Structure 1
Amino acid sequence: MAKLSEQEIEAALKRLSGWKLENGTLVKEFKFSDFAESVRFLTRVQPVADSLDHHPDVCIYYNRVVVHLTTHDEGGITQLDVKLAEKLDDLAKLH
């Protein structure tokens, strides 16, 4: 899968809610009420990431999860990262 151009990334960011470009990755901080809810979010992320064979870099804190998306094999952001970002936004709405 090919790396997206800067223009394609900018267009994707306009469609995505709360995502930003940081050091060549798509980044979003998801906020939750407590640690248990943060962990539940990650348990919902795991099967989705596995189904796409595309796994995010995550940092989990007490009531927030920070997600970084990039396609390491391509050396940047691809459409797969955008697709996973959209799916993570949908999962976050379920909490």
Structure 2
Amino acid sequence: MRGISSKELEELKSQGWSVSEDGKKIKKEYKLKDFKQSIDLLREIQPSADALDHHPDICVYYNRVIIELTTHDFGGLTDLDYQLAVKIDEIYKMLS
């Protein structure tokens, strides 16, 4: 595990991810058609999160899913956050 690079962080920001004030978390909101599609997104994310052994914090609001990523063991952002964020974006594009 390594810290996230500035290039990776800039790439995520260009894809709509925001960085917390302390720089230790990234966050993104996904808008979906309805509650079922929101849950479908979570179901698709779960195997990727398990494969990386890296799990996001998630809030579901009917047709919106808010995802936050950080690496608690590291105390901030790592390559695991980058990898999972990219995968989540791919999954969302596939569902929408």
TM-score between both structures, scaled by the size of structure 2:
0.88
The runs of at least 4 aligned residues of structure 1 exceeding 6 Å deviation read none
Q: What secondary structure, in the 3-state scheme, does the structure 1 residue paired with 2:67 have?
A: strand
How far apart are 1:15 and its partner, in Å?
Answer: 1.5
After superposition, what is the alpha-carbon deviation per residue over 1:69-90, rounded to whole angstroms, capped at 9, x for unaligned?
Answer: 0000000000110010000000
Alignment of 1:29-48 (within 5 A): 29-48=29-48
- 75-84 or 14-23, which moves further after superposition? 14-23
Q: What does residue 25 of structure 1 align with?
A: 25
Q: What does residue 61 of structure 1 align with?
A: 61
In structure 2, distance between residues paired with 1:81 and 1:58: 14
Which of 4, 7, 13 lines up with 2:9 in the alignment? 13
- Structure 1: segments with no counterpart, 5+ residues: none
TM-score between both structures, scaled by the size of structure 1:
0.89
- 60-69 or 21-30, which moves further after superposition? 21-30
How far apart are 1:94 and its partner, in Å?
Answer: 1.2
In structure 1, distance between residues paired with 2:60 and 2:34: 11
Q: What secondary structure, in the 3-state scheme, does the structure 2 residue paired with 1:94 have?
A: helix
How far apart are 1:14 and its partner, in Å?
Answer: 2.6
Whichever residue aligns with residue 18 of structure 1, its letter is: G
Cα RMSD between the aligned structures? 1.2
- Structure 2: segments with no counterpart, 5+ residues: none
Give yes or no for contact 1:13–1:20 (8 Å, CA) kept in 2: no
The alignment-based identity, stated in percent, is 47
**How many correspondences in the alignment?**
91
In structure 2, distance between residues paired with 1:74 and 1:15: 21
